[in-house]
Amino acid sequence: MSQLVWNGLFVGSFYALVALGYSMVYGIIKLLNFAHGDLYMLGAFVGFAVLGAAGGVSAAMALPVLLLVLVLTMGVTGLAGVVLERVAYRRLRGAPRLSLLITAVGASFALEYGMRAGAGADPRVYPVRLSGTTLEVLGARVTLQQLTLVAVAVILMIGLNLLVNRSREGRAMRAVALDPRAAALMGIDVDAIISRTFFLGSALAGAAGVMAGAHYGKIDFMMGFLIGLKAFTAAVIGGIGNIPGTMLGGLLLGLLESFGTFWLGGEWRDVFAFGVLILFLTVRPTGLLGERVTERV
């Protein structure tokens, strides 16, 4: 039982990091950015390229080097998110939501097959693979590297929550999410706030991509598709647009998958996850911590 809980929390931390980008963008401009999962894929490949350029990394230095690469990758994927918003979404901000949705799907395919053209279709083996002595904690077998990755994910999520709720920048984000016109009249640069939101969300997705590549050891150009859907599921479960709810949704989805795989078998893992999505959309479409809102007309 303890092992199932640990496995669920470990995978759920990846889901939560990616889902936060979905939730932030939706909260600001009500856009389901289906290209967000591909920024996770981009982060994994950026980390792969940086680690490959660095040459061989000893086992003792694997974790420190990986953390440094993670920070660099967050900057690159954050900038990629800003470019994506500027090129694909900004001019369509006042367009019907269907137009934005179609554009997001197109951006997703552009990132996926752009990476396929540039890096090839074959899976790549990550230059650094985290492995270490197995420890037993409360009945679960874990490694120090896994604990470190979960700790990094938790620190990033807590830092984002503090930024949004305690800083001047966060107040501006919340003001734009509530009423962009009123925020602009109060002197807030709405375009800049939206760009920064894309930067933060994309940076978190890139961090998750590096951590997943180092943990699983293999990456490919389609790896962002499924986790993008899982992250969307996590955001819906927790309450899309609600940052603490999204974190909770990611961890809960990881736990549900872990126990569902144990009960039903690995081949039912995705069926179980998306079945939970359908259940939440039917029973509680606003999610666990989401609030019912009346849309302004």
* 61-78 confidence digits (pLDDT tens): 777 888 899 999 999 999
More confident position, 127 or 42: 42
Residue type, 211: M
CA atoms of 105 and 125, how far apart (whole Å): 28
- Is residue 134 over pLDDT 80? no
Tokens 């800083």 locate to 167
Strand partners for 142: 135
- What pLDDT shows up at residue 295? 46
What are the distances in angstroms from CA 30 to CA 1, 95, 102? 39, 12, 14
Percentage of residues of the chain with pLDDT beyond 70: 94
CA atoms of 11 and 140, how far apart (whole Å): 15
DSSP class of 86: I
- Is residue 296 over pLDDT 60? no
- Is residue 165 over pLDDT 60? yes
Where is average pLDDT lowest: 10-24, 161-175, 258-272? 258-272
Residue 219 φ/ψ, nearest 5 degrees: -135, 155
- What pLDDT shows up at residue 60? 64
- Is residue 85 over pLDDT 60? yes
- Number of C-beta neighbours around residue 77 at 10 A: 31
The alpha carbon dihedral of 209, 210, 214, 215 has a sign of negative
- Is residue 3 over pLDDT 60? yes
CA atoms of 197 and 275, how far apart (whole Å): 30
Grade residue 291 by pLDDT with cuts at 50, 70 and 90.
low
Most confident of 55-64, 157-166, 268-277: 157-166
